[in-house]
Copies of this chain bind each other. A is one copy, B any other.
Amino acid sequence: MKSPIQQYLDALHEQLQANTEGTPYQGIPATAVADPQKFGICLATVDGVVYEAGDTDELFSIQSISKPFTYALALEDLGSEAVGQKIDVEPSGDAFNEISLQRGTGRPDNPMINAGAIAAVSLIKSRGPRSRFSRIQDFYSSFAGRDLELSSSVFNGERMTGFRNRALAQLLRSFEIIEDDPDGVVEDYFRQCSIMVNARDLALMAATLANGGVHPREHNQVVEPETVQNVLSVMTTCGMYDDAGSWTTSVGLPAKSGVGGGIIAVLPGQLGIAIYSPPLDAHGSSVRGVETCTRLARDMGLHFMRSGRPGRSSIRSHYTLRDSFSGVRRTTESVEVLEAHADKCVILELGGDLLFAETETVVRTITDEQEDMELLILDLRKVDDFGPVALRMMTQLVSNFEAEGKSICLIDPDGAVTSQLASECSMTIASFPGHPAAMEWAETHILERFAPELVSPQSVDVAATATLEPVSPEDVQKIEELLEDRRYEAGHVIRRIGQPFTGIQFIVSGRVSLTGRATDGSRFRQATLGPGMTFGEIALGASGQQQTTVTALETTKVRVLTHHALEDLEKDHPDTALRLWKAIARDAYTRVEQTMKDNAIRLRG
């Protein structure tokens, strides 16, 4: 099936190909003869997927698009403070080749004008066998994900015509902004401008910036996230020369153009964009390149100040334990205790990105809770981005809870937030991968607090299981006579997914785990069962198959009503069998009931 993204890009390319305004850069022979019809658009996502339309294989010189990358290397080498002493980050409002240095200090306004870019080159020092230029070339190559080459014809052109840049280098040397030999620096600047790229290279370089400094295909950290933030900020305010302001208003993406006909734009966290088309506008930027970015920004809503429609509430559900007991079958006595205190356990299901506004809502909801809330469960399964503000606020909240003798627990399948939070708080944070386990934790917590004698009995009589609750003692006695005693050691797999019904197993002592298989084949723990609970009856459904694998977690004693014994009971004591089947049906509908309650919570969000 066709990709709508490819369809869109092809249509855009075809439309903008018709625009023949502008002239290729006449300053050096190599670009002066560039074919004005060449036009390539390339998008690279942070996942490393690349979309291309037109001439994306065509090589051309990187020119000024090199500036943000050399600046990035200087920041990586020296840090932003040292670099800031040599190069400011203020928009100059000047054309790219203006001879404008700050009064007194001679400091260039920013690294995107030639003076600043040349100063940035001078900050890169050779290391071991790698010369300054080799390091620059290696660095660009890491962004592109392939070895980039210098064009000697472009380099010779730059050298023969670059008088203005030589003047700038001398001037920078006179102010001691450049401390090395200015001729050597400006030669390396010409070299870096002469590195040959195609639109695909540039899109991947831009995507590496979009991806916080990690190459989207190679997955290596090319630069630190802090460097990326600095570089993108400067590209936002100074990237498009004297056109930066209207660019920011209309396109709103950090970007950089070069007289070679290239242009890159970055959508942080999302996308790198690159265009190649040689004809330039009065500012020295590719005409089709600017138009492509403008159209993409408008059609795709990419502007960084797009406030968007407000996200859904970060609180997807807000309920108490009463609305969603764990499903662990407990004795009537335990159930009564849990019912009495269920509202002291509050569950908040959070979702989306927890940036400032969302975190504020969550924190306010929690601090507005009743004073008698004792337990708080935060279900983070639908959270996309647990941001720095969420981490900071939750850290404070955990410490407030601790001080008031209350408890917090997380539902956090991969444990990432739990470990961050635990390290911030320097304490252990209760955390579970799934909902039932967290509810079970809450129930245990309440029982321990209000009825410690009821917590995990060592051993329970068959008569006391919830399934047999509606059955009379006389009937239970008849059933008990048919039961078979079994004992499983820890690790023993008692029942497997797909096996047929062979009986109902009553747990007398010990614990078993039920694990299911997700549609992708992965396994997940569904529940832990203990004394007084049953398993095996699920296979009574239409498929006739066991739906979970049951494994003994410790030495476990069970009493089994095998399907043969059940048949015997039906034959010998049909009245008892009838009442047993009614009890089984009731038990099954109790589970259906529980599911419907859970759905009710889910549907609230």
Contact = CB atoms under 8 A, between A and B. Distances in A.
Contact of A574 (B308, B517, B522, B578): B578
B355 A3 contact: no
Contacts of A230: 249
Interface in A97-156: 109-110
Q: How many protomers of this protein does the assembly include?
A: 2
Interface stretch (A18-26, A237-245, A449-457, A486-494): A237-245
A366 interface: yes
Contacts of A34: none
Contacts of A210: 307
A149 to B, nearest CB: 30
Contacts of A384: 311-312, 351-353, 384
A219 interface: no
A305 B387 CA distance: 14
A305 B233 contact: yes
Query: Which one of A46, A389, A392, A537 has the highest number of Cβ atoms from chain B below 10 Å of its Cβ?
Result: A389
A537 B589 contact: yes
Interface stretch (A62-70, A176-184, A593-601): A593-601
Interface stretch (A87-95, A195-203, A553-561): A87-95
A interface bracket (residues with beta carbon within 8 Å of B): 35 or more
A233 B254 contact: no
A301 interface: yes
A275 B591 CA distance: 56
Contacts of A595: 591-592, 595
A304 B307 contact: no
Interface stretch (A4-12, A424-432, A476-484): A4-12
27 contacts: A3-B363, A4-B363, A47-B360, A49-B360, A90-B246, A233-B245, A233-B252, A237-B245, A268-B305, A269-B311, A299-B392, A301-B389, A309-B385, A311-B353, A351-B351, A351-B384, A382-B382, A518-B603, A518-B604, A519-B600, A541-B592, A541-B593, A542-B590, A547-B596, A574-B574, A585-B588, A592-B595
